[in-house]
């Protein structure tokens, strides 16, 4: 059985999430792509040790696919696809 849940965030809560996202982007901007991929791979390796909700697991599955795409020599882009590069 699945259930859809909707909720509302007020302006302060939205600002909080926006701040967290900006901080994460700022931290990632100073990290080499290899470090970001390694951290994502580490997360995927250890997520199996915990019980994860299905909606999060679906996103982690997509993350795993994106990592495989980056490692695929035929698909791989020749230059970084980061903003400003």
7: which 2 tokens?
A: 């909720």
In tens, the pLDDT along 28-41 reads 888 888 899 999 99
Round to whole Å and give the CA distance between 44 and 36. Answer: 12
Share of the chain above pLDDT 70, in %: 88
Q: Which helix (H) or strand (E) holds 11?
A: helix 11-29
Residue 14 · residue 8 · CB < 8 Å: no
pTM: 0.67
């Amino acid at each position: 059985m699945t259930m859809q849940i909707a909720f509302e965030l007020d302006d302060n809560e939205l600002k909080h999430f926006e701040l967290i996202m900006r901080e994460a982007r700022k931290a990632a901007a100073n990290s080499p792509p290899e470090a970001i991929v390694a951290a994502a791979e580490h997360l995927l390796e250890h997520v199996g040790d915990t019980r994860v909700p299905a909606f999060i697991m679906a996103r982690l599955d997509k993350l795993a696919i994106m990592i495989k795409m980056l490692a695929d020599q035929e698909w791989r882009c020749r230059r970084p696809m980061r903003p400003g590069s």
